[in-house]
Structure 1
């Protein structure tokens, strides 16, 4: 039987747009829920017809805010995936959620629908920062959401953003210690970045947002790695921390260059050596479903060099790194063409990389410099 695939389902709607967010999220006064359920089911059926004989190892409902989806729609999509492909015995089914009372009230129904893992957008554990981030919840609501999630789902993760304007190392260490005390088996801990096209970019360009300097950012990153490791949740990816066995299986499919199907507005996919991209604007995606039976905007065959480059850029985010022999076999590019060996030797000498047999990995000291390291190491254009 062919290797399993992952399934990503994008729900593009949010109650409001956060000022730091560059995801494909949209605010609409109303959503025709029946229309959207039927359209997502049609988009899924199209992909299923092109990936017959493969089972689904993970489903990820992302957004936007997929916890705004009616639980009945979530159930219908999971049931359709089971019908089209079949789910593996340990299939991980994750849904992203915001911690407000309306969405938390759906947790029991979402668990009954088949969701077995939830990822909550907490983002901060102080109310002033939550207001700065434009979040619609309070710290108390966030804590209630974590407790409710732990009562209903076997696996719970939540997000926090660090390297915020005015944040000190001591403040972050205290906040992270509090987060770790909740006992979840997974945390996603991101340093704040200023993305083009966001409200924060406008404020940053005006000098109204000032990020921590490089030294403080490095200290925050190092402290994060130290505290999470001490708590038994070491970093397995540059921004993700988990107990052994509790890593996000869906995201590991991306980082390990596995095939995945993406449906819904703006979703990307990789299947059978083909990259897929769907219409981004919700209305355009719906029109494509009505006109052609699926939401695809573009498909392109991936060249061997592109497949190799993607495998390296994604895999080197992981603590485990990449097996260069595997990348060569996957892509068809000879191993001696994959990386700049002189750059690897030089960076290894500085304690930033390791190369053991075919396995190349970025060491903890190199992770903060990953964006600078990758262009030096990856030899393919």
Structure 2
């Protein structure tokens, strides 16, 4: 990011494995991820100067109860809610704190349990012709139909997104869905809406993720190693505008990615890794085209040709994506940073993409906001 901001680095990452909703307290989920990130960075909690918590479905004021298990150090803390982009926005705020010179060590945490899932329309007193009958899955089922009509893609090609991402997740010990699925399994009914079967829709769950961001000064003063540090090249956050008949999910992603890549001084051709919002299979195809990773209408063929798998031209959702890694809402965007950092360090084990240098993280929140971050190997 330009504008006189300081260089900022990710030096520690941690996760609590994503899982089905259960009895684990959110404090345990979050503290597990935070302690893992601290250990990864070689830092202690009293060295962290500010904390942002991305959360959307759990409770008001949850940060205090979670962080006090680590020590009451008096640091500023804030909760960030931005729908599915909550964790992405928390990461951006932590990054901006460091890049702007306000603090030298910041942590972004995402944590959630699906206790309070609600949309704002009812509280706003908004009524429309659809009421509650137009679910997100139907929105994306309609987009899948449109994509097939415009590109010539088949239902089987769209389902291949879930096949690929389930294989990636089978190599990821932190994923919620760890079973590699065949095309026949992915296509098995029931269909939830349109062509989208259950395996083509992401699972909701719970979990936590954490990332520690530091300045150059902190790297030197705290004696941190640069060998495993990952540089944050840029961060972009945009909201929707008026798009006419254009698919707003696509248009918003295109605009935000263009801004993030431009600030980073990176072209789409230079990107090696992408973690993107694939809550439904068709999203991955739409978004890789919007990002400029392939030409419009060609994503399905590129996927079939192996271009988006681990070892392909660009590894898309090496974690398993929302479809198989899981989508616990608050943690998801920070979890993407964990995956990119792990890959850029060369520490992803059996799912390691060969020699990655540039990674991109992308999340949308109820279609109204989009966050994109660009990271680079030191």
TM, length-normalised to structure 2? 0.29
The answer to which structure, 1 or 2, has the higher relative contact order (CA under 8 A, 6+ apart) is 2
TM-score normalised by structure 1 residue count: 0.29
Q: Which has the higher helix share?
A: 1
Greater radius of gyration (CA): 1
